[in-house]
């Protein structure tokens, strides 16, 4: 596709979160074994309590079953580091690979042969470093003798750095298991992510590197920042969320100091309302673009005080409600563009004065869904030509319905440009992990390429 070719001329910086994804391809007997271990009544009781984080195994079982019953992707933080042994004794990991938004996106863009991909994380253990693809366009910034140097991440690891492990439980549509007398059938393919949130994992730029952020900004055309869901409200050393968000704001301003690059924030599920509110109000106004899924926009709207609209999105998932939520968000947070991805459609919401036409915005979303389809079909994208595999994937069966509902919603969008396309949906995906990140990376970089072509970047 011609637009992807233009996007590959860009330089992109991405930070902060990388981790090892330990993946389990879940089967019904796995779930039934867990239910038997804790008992149906205890599991149901904990499901009703809806734990927001995993402190003990029963919290995990309850949230896993809730995810399976709805078939919706979920991510819940694991806060008890001692549970590593319990998980390792119950599950055999089918795959261990690169995880974290920054890690997934940097490998993707490097394999697509982008001009330059600079990835940064404050932790870089050897095992993690080896999971980066061996491409000459993939770089990691280090400071040597007082100056900025770029190395391949595989050459930049540090011996004593911790490793962040996220456990991902992939489930398939049609999987069945018994919860007491109830037979549960999973309605959609998806994944349940148990993300490690420990004090040793910081979301920040190291002091030694921070003075060089303007130089990094000069070397790229855009930045994709993520991982803020890993910030904790309070730390044992006396620091808190405000300390790390202040540094995060300074990082964005430093990246833009010498060159006004576009910055995209990839939002991820933040269970704690107070932390979610602080991330939204501190960071959204400083970035140009934000990407999220439909459940995340509902959480954001709820945090901004639009609880009834948020409830409607959670309950009915109507396109017109999501469009209204998008318009509210770009106005209140002064965003240039908002990208929302769901199972059945991807949407852009931007102001009427955006330099790109609706047709150009639509072509950007086409790049995004085609890349995600290629990844779902192949399991990973290893070369630019893999993009063609996505073109062989049909649009989902609800595509015409999506278009019809969008036309109804669009009548109330005169002051905005709102563009929506159906997703290309792989019926039996090799993996669903990283599809949202792939969509956001494809959308943002193709958006930048179109802006550049018009002289607006």
User: For the chain, how far is it from start to end, CA to CA, in angstroms?
Assistant: 21
Is residue 136 packed enough to be buried (19+ CB in 10 Å), middle (13-18) or exposed (0-12)? exposed
Q: Which of 130, 134, 133, 156 is nearest to 143 (CA)?
A: 156
Q: Looking at residue 228, what DSSP letter applies?
A: G
Contacts of 308 (CB under 8 A, 6+ apart): none
The residue to which tokens 């802006």 are assigned: 451
Angle among Cα 138, 140, 146 to the nearest 5 degrees reads 140
Phi/psi at 204 (5° precision): -165, 165
Distance (Å, rounded) from C-alpha 279 to C-alpha 254? 18
Q: Which of 15, 17, 108, 213 is nearest to 443 (CA)?
A: 108
Q: Looking at residue 424, what DSSP letter applies?
A: B
- List the structure tokens of 206: 């190291």
Active site residue 251: no
Residue 158, SS3 per DSSP: coil
Pick the catalytic residue from 221, 251, 321, 437.
437
User: Which DSSP helix (H) or strand (E) runs through 183?
Assistant: strand 182-185
Contacts of 92 (CB under 8 A, 6+ apart): 24
Q: Looking at residue 428, what DSSP letter applies?
A: S
The residue to which tokens 């003798």 are assigned: 145
> For residues 99 and 21, is the Cβ–Cβ distance under 8 A?
yes
Contacts of 239 (CB under 8 A, 6+ apart): none
Strands 337-341 and 289-293: parallel
> For residues 78 and 414, is the Cβ–Cβ distance under 8 A?
no
Catalytic residues: 437
């Amino acid at each position: 596709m011609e637009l992807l070719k233009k996007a590959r001329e860009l330089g992109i910086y991405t930070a902060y979160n990388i981790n090892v994804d330990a993946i389990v391809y879940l089967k019904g007997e796995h779930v039934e074994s867990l239910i038997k271990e804790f008992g149906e009544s205890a599991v149901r009781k904990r499901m009703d309590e809806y734990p927001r984080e995993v402190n003990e195994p029963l919290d995990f079982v309850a949230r896993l079953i809730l995810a399976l019953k709805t078939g919706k992707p979920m991510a819940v933080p694991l806060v008890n580091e001692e549970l590593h042994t319990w998980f390792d004794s119950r599950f055999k990991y089918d795959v261990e690979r690169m995880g974290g938004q920054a890690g997934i996106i940097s490998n993707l863009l490097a394999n697509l042969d982008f001009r330059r991909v600079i990835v940064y994380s404050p932790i870089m253990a050897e095992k993690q470093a080896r999971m980066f693809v061996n491409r000459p366009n993939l770089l990691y910034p280090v400071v040597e003798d007082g100056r900025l140097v770029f190395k391949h991440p595989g050459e930049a690891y540090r011996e004593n750095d911790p490793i962040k492990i996220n456990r991902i439980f992939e489930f398939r549509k049609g999987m069945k298991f018994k919860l007491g007398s109830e037979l549960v059938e999973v309605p959609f393919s998806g994944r349940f992510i148990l993300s490690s949130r420990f004090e040793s994992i910081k979301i920040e730029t190291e002091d030694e590197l921070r003075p060089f952020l303007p130089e990094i900004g000069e070397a790229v055309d855009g930045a994709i920042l993520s991982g803020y869901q890993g910030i904790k409200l309070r730390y044992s050393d006396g620091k808190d969320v405000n300390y790390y968000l202040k540094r995060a704001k300074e990082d964005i301003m430093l990246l833009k100091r010498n060159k006004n690059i576009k910055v995209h924030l990839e939002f991820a599920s933040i269970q704690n309302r107070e932390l979610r509110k602080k991330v939204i109000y501190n960071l959204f106004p400083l970035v140009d673009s934000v990407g999220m899924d439909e459940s995340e926009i509902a959480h954001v709207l709820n945090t901004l005080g639009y609880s009834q609209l948020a409830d409607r999105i959670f309950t009915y998932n109507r396109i017109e409600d999501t469009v209204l939520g998008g318009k509210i968000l770009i106005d209140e947070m002064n965003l240039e563009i908002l990208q929302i991805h769901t199972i059945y459609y991807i949407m852009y919401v931007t102001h009427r004065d955006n330099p790109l036409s609706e047709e150009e915005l639509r072509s950007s979303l086409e790049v995004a869904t085609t890349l995600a389809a290629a990844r779902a079909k192949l399991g990973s994208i290893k070369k630019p030509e893999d993009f063609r595999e996505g073109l062989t994937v049909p649009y989902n069966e609800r595509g015409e319905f999506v278009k019809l509902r969008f036309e109804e919603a669009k009548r109330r969008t005169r002051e905005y440009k709102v563009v929506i396309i159906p997703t290309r949906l792989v019926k039996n995906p090799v993996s669903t992990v990283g599809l949202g990140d792939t969509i956001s990376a494809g959308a943002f970089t193709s958006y930048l390429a179109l802006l550049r072509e018009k002289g607006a970047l």
